[in-house]
Each structure stands twice: as C-alpha cells, then as structure tokens.
Amino acid sequence: MKFGKEFKKQKVPEWIDAYMDYSGLKQILREIMLHKLSRQPPTPLRAIKQKLKLHRTFSGLHAKSRDFVSQGDIEDQVIDVEALPRDGSGHFYRTNFLRQSEGGEIEEMFFEKLDQELNKVNKFYKDKVEAVRSEAAELNKQMDALIALRIKVDTKNASPDNATAVPLRTSTRTLEENKCEDHSLEILEHVKINNTLETPRSTLKGVFKDSKDDELRFRKEELRKVEGQLRVVFIEFYQKLRLLKNYSFMNLAAFSKIMKKYDKITSTRASRSYMKIVDNSYLGSSEDVTSLLEKVETTFISHFSNSNRKDGMKSLRPKGKKERHGVTFLSGFFSGCSIALLIAVVLRIEARDLMDKKEAASYLVNIFPLYSLFAYAILHMLMYAADIYFWRRYRVNYPFILGFKQGTVLSYREVFLLSTGLAVLALSSFLANLHLDMGSRTEHYRKLTELVPLFSITIVIVIIFCPFDIIYRSSRLFFIKSATHCFFAPLYKVTLPDFLLADNITSQVQAIRSIELYICYYGLGESSQRQSKCHTHGIYNAFYFIVAIVPFWLRFLQCLRRLCEEKDAVHGWNGLKYLLIIIAVLIRTAFELKKGTTWFVLALASSAVAVAMSTYWDIVMDWGLLQRKSKNTYLRDNLVISNKSVYFAAMVLNIVLRVAWMQLVIEFNLHSLQKMAITTIISCLEVFRRGIWNFFRLENEHLNNVGKYRAFKSVPLPFSYNDEETEKDD
C-alpha cells in the first residue's frame, strides 16, 4: 500500500488537522518537479522519460539509496535549520534555504510549509504528552487509595477463624502494597468515593444530598466497584497512550518520506540534516509515552489481572473483529429467502382475492398490525446498516461517539444479516398465518394459528435477552443497557448513546402500539376481531394515548436532567420541543378516536407547530447546518461529504418527511384497509427519515470532536482527595 494511503488510514479521525499535511507538501514537490522539467528541452524521447520519472516519483515506489551528487556531501549548502526557543516550552524550528537557484522560490516555500507542519505536530504532541503525564500522576494517587482500601478491607474482614489466612495474603502482596500498609489509614482519611450518579439509587441519594454516600465503608462490594471503575480507567488510558505513540510514529515516517522525495527530485541530500532536527525534536526524542505504556502494563497486570500477563494484555489490547465469509454468505442467503417469501405472500393474497373480499380484507386489517412490528424493526435495522456503511466510508468515528467497546463493533454486513434473518422469521410466520387461517382444510388449526405471531415475537425476545455468548452478546447487552437508561429517565445520567436511542424510539410510535396490540390480543383473550375489538376496551384506549407519548416524554425527562446538570439553556429549549410534540400527539390521538371538526383543527394546528420547531431543530441544532457566516453557503464550515448538494437534498427530504407526518391528521374517506396502508407507509417514511437524521447527527458530533481534538471518552475516577493540605503537598 502506498504510504499516503496508509498514512490517511492510520490517522485518528479527531486529530486529522493535527497531523502533518503530507498531501499538501507532495503538491509543492509536484510543482518543483514540473518547474525543473519545464526548463529542459522538450524532445519527444525526453518528454516520455520525464513523464515516467514524474510517475515513479509519486508512485510510492522508492529505489535503493544512491549518490545523487558526485562532488561529495553538499547538504550544508542546501538548508540550515535553526531551533529557536519558544516561551520556555520547547523549540520553534525555522529552515533557511541557501540555494537560490532557478526555482528556488518554490523550494523555499516547501521548507516554509515543512517548518510549519513540524512546529504544529511538535506542539500538539507535546501538549498531549503533558496532559497524559498529569493523568498518570492522578492515576498514581488513585492506585494509592485503592491499595490502601484493599489492605483496610482485608484487615476489617479478618476474623479469628481465618487468622491464618491473613499472613498468607499479606505475604503474597506486592512490595508497593507492603509499603503502603503503614500509612494506609492516613491516605484513606483524605479520600472520598465520587458519586457519579450512574444508577437510580445514587441519583436519588444525590438529589436528597446524602453525604454518607461519599464516605468509605470498607466493604467488599465497595472495593469491587472501585476496582471495576479503575480497571476501565486504565484500559482507556492505555488506548490513549497507544494512539499517541502511533501519532508520533506516523508523523516521523511522513517527514522521512517527504524529505526522501525532495532529495530524489532535487538531487540533494537535504533530508539528512532536516531529519536530524526532526529526530532531536520532542516528537522524535521524547520517551515519555513509551515509559508510561510500560508502567501501565506493569500496574494493570499486577493489580487487575492477578499477575497474568496474557490476560492483562488481552484486556489492554483487544483484538479487532475480523470479517467472516460466513456473514456475507448468510446475508445473501437470508436476503434471497426474504425476497422469495415476500413473493409467496403476495401470490397467496392474490390467489385468495383477499384484497377484494370484505371478510378477507377485514382479516388483513386485524392481522397485519401484529406483523407490522417486525416491518418497522427490520426497516430501522436496514437504515442503521446503511448508516454504518457511510460512516465508515466518510471516516466518521461512530464507535468512539457511541461508546462501543473495542472489538465488539458490528459491521454493516452483520447488522444487515440480523435484519434479513428477522425478515425471514416474520415473513415465514405471516405466510403460515395466511395458509392456516384462509385454507378450507385447516380450520381445525385455527387455535394454533393464533399463537404464530406470539411464537415469533417470543423468539425475538429470547434472543435479545439470551445470557449466553451467542448472536453478538456484547451488542445486545449494550442495547439493553441503553434502553434501560432511556426507560428509567431521568434516574440515569444521560449519555449520547442514551438520548440517541431515545430519539430513535420516538420514530417507532406505531411499533410500540403494535406491542400494545399483542398485550390486548393475548392478555385480554381477544381471538377474532383483534384490533377492532381491542378499541372497545377503555383500558386499551387509555394506553393507546399513553404509549404514543411515552417516547417523547422520556426524551423530555432526559432534557430536564441535562438542563439541571449542565446548566445549558439549549437543553431547556430542546425539552420544550418534545413537550410541543407530546401535546400534538395527544390531540391527534384524541381526534383519531373521537373525530369531530374541533379536534381536527386542534390536531392540525398543534402538529404544524411541532413539525416547524422539530424541523428547525433537526437542521440547525442537530445537523449544524444553515449557518449564515459559513464558508460553505447555508451549510457549515466543515463537511465530510465533498458534494454539497447532498446536504441540501437531505434538508429538503427531512422537511418533506416531517410534513408527511402531519398527513395522519387528515380525515381520509377511505376504507379501513387503505387507511391501514397509509398509516403504515407514513410510519415507514418516518423510520427512513430517522435513518438519514442519524447519519448527519453523528457527522456533526464527529466534527465537533475533531474541532476540540476529543478522541477519548471521559471515564470518571472512583476517588477524590478532599484535604487541601494533601493537595498542596502533591
């Protein structure tokens, strides 16, 4: 692979602007080459050789080192690099170009650009290393507290019956623990447990300001919790160090490659003197990161993996997932099966004339909502697979943004496999329903037919909550965790994956109503008319209101929690948006059940206000577009897609699909089957809109992280030192 492509591939997406501008420097070298070639007589044979030479120079293929100048080493006559002090924080490098020959202006511009890149990279690396050194000092204090806590817990839990066990454990302690034992009580006097408000219980205690929750109780449960938190902190810190080391290595390689290209084009040896400066710079000479990597490995293996180096390094350096051919094969197989089953369903409906017969049409109206739940879920998963594909294509760092654990991120092929597998299950069940319900010879199977949808949904639920390590267990647990945080809002701290999932759930109102229909059909004993019969129950109608607003209400509560914690008014305005949507949904639901001109006018007006504010928020706040002073007219300064028309098309499509949501208010003079079809189509369009929204929402978040160089998630520390004198001593 050419170095330019490899360099681009190895870049940390959030640090792209901090890397050496390799392509920009190559462009200047190309101008130097063209200028030199233009000074030679353009004979036909020479022109061909010039083209071949130009191609070889930038093809990434480098010949073995050779002497370009036969008159000895003249590198000192080409450049003179100065290392000037800069405010006591390292050096500022400046190159004086000594050869003012023809084309010297372009070469001088090259070294000016090269110096800018070296100073930029050197400063960025030095700032990041100083930051990790400060973090390492804080982690040392955290480990002192952990070791002291371990000793205190061991001592407290010791009893006369197991007195012989205590010396054994003490003898197996590390030297660091023995050293810490004498003054462990003194350390613990200045330490408190950080209340991160991560659970409903801790949140309620935080609201009622239970100060006892911060005090150490020296229990085993407390120790396990602290060890788990510090384990995650060390793993994240180690990943940060690895990325910094790779940043240094790739930039050093880029400077070396670009200087070799310069030597080859100009027939000089300037690279030797310049690379000597690069190697002596902080970027090339600092060993802090390597030293910290070794210390973290030693500490982690000793304290968090029972001195088992293999297990410790497996945790610190998890292997990335490999693409499997089986995933591709099964995706294609299930896709083919889904298409075949869909055709079979259509042919079955046409063969029985179910669309024309009144009884059969009523049957479809009542049975279809049970299976529409699968349709909404499958469409949402397909949109998510498409989002992953385009996020990867445009280098949007979605695993970091969403907080996925390294090595467990699903590829778009795997998500597509899950969606097609679910499609096969749903279509098979639906086809079985049509065959058993509508066949004249299968009347005695009618009771069994009623259980087919329940059997299908049960399979899905069992797979989601299956505790065994099969069918992407890590991703399932991540989904369950985020869903739990959503449904118990505002008792959990709101993170980006949580409110992003809550936003996606707001696009699945019809799917949630389908779940309510399952409960009514199987819980209340409905067996024939299903949805029509369900609406005769007062409790069903009450929950028909409630389930429609639950997703928006949960999102509203998340906004309130963020407003209280972050004190940012934007979360208050966002909460107001969801409150307006809740009002609109309530009025629309009332109109759907009660009808009437008054309800129609109220539903139309409230929906129009909600759509207007939601559309503005989507485009301006969530996507960051329509910025007046942007260098990209009516967009934003930074874009990941070079074709600007894509953004304008997305904005127009978002407006159109938002307005389509209002069409459910209009009283169509259609029979029930057509109304059901229209409702289903508009609901699917909302899922489609949400898939588009997801891509641009994460793109905007990614660019915000790039602007602030945020490439690591912030992990809260378990301990805090609250003694002022201790802080001064440190």
Gyration radius from the chain CA atoms = 33
Please give the single-letter amino acid code of residue 656.
V
pLDDT number for residue 175:
47
pLDDT number for residue 75:
42
C-alpha distances in Å from residue 478, one per residue of 147, 314, 384, 464, 474: 31, 21, 15, 11, 6
Please give the Cα distance from 384 to 390 (Å, whole number).
10
The pTM score is 0.82
What are the pLDDT digits (tens) for 180-198? 455 556 777 777 777 655 6
Can you tell me which residue has the tokens 């995933």?
Answer: 327
Smallest CA-to-CA distance from 474 within 537, 374, 404 is with 404
pLDDT number for residue 693:
97
pLDDT number for residue 181:
54
Residue ranges of the chain with pLDDT lower than 50? 45, 57, 59-76, 160-173, 175, 177, 180, 211, 528-530, 724-730
pLDDT number for residue 272:
87
pLDDT number for residue 482:
94
Smallest CA-to-CA distance from 517 within 536, 540, 538, 539 is with 540
Smallest CA-to-CA distance from 577 within 589, 587, 566, 585 is with 585
The residues spanned by each domain of the chain are 325-707
pLDDT number for residue 166:
37
pLDDT number for residue 725:
44
Structure tokens at 710: 């945020």
pLDDT number for residue 226:
87
Angle at CA of residue 391, ends 388 and 397, nearest 5° = 110
C-alpha distances in Å from residue 262, one per residue of 79, 106, 111, 275, 582: 12, 12, 10, 12, 64
Do residues 289 and 248 touch, judged by C-beta distance below 8 A?
yes
What are the pLDDT digits (tens) for 38-78? 766 655 545 555 555 555 545 444 433 333 333 444 444 56
Q: Widest CA span of the chain, in angstroms?
A: 102
